[in-house]
Structure 1
């Protein structure tokens, strides 16, 4: 038994439950902050002679803003399970699924993240559960999500 309240709640299958790639999220946020701060310091420190006017400095800072935004987007993925269904947040798109829409949860050898097979025949990448944090953690998260799908999937929304 663990002392972590989130881990204990996960063991009991309590909802809501959120999965996200913690290591990737940390790396992208730290790198984004370092780049943004570094380019801002560079813009302030550039010599005034030599063609570095306000527009040039602003361009350097805007490059940092762009890099920060890009890296924050890379750290955005997560999967949230609630009693109403599953919300999959990938890089650019958020999709809410009813439990009954999810047919299968898969994480095959070599897959970078979990895939959800949906009742309409579509397959949706769930980038919030990925192997970048370790394959065993990803397998445990995929198994937990699969168990939740089995528990809630056969129930129509009106019966919950």
Structure 2
């Protein structure tokens, strides 16, 4: 296990929580992003993720550095899975430890938003009625636009 990695096997969140846990940490936040079945009324069958792995891991590490600079005393681990993922499977895990809980929560939220902005990972949604590669996941779909 590396602190910042792209993986092809199911993610064990506890490994990442254990990695960031240390005596000076009063808080550990653990975020897991899962494949959901329904998105805006359309049933998802599964997701397929692809990544440019060397750059993706570099960008995950950059996010970790940003967190450590903005919230001193934090330690972060991030993994994102690629390949075909079934409903309920974990696509991403972010573990952050910090002396105080507020920093751990804020840093964790920062991490997921930055992943969506920076990391070259592409998601294909496979629905009952079609498929689509999803680009910028932060953008809200326009009225009538397929999610």
TM bucket (normalised to shorter chain) is under 0.3
| Higher RCO, 1 vs 2 (CA within 8 Å, ≥6 residues apart) | 2
TM-score, normalisation: structure 2: 0.26
- The structure with the greater share of residues assigned to strand is 2
**Higher Cα Rg: structure 1 or 2?**
1
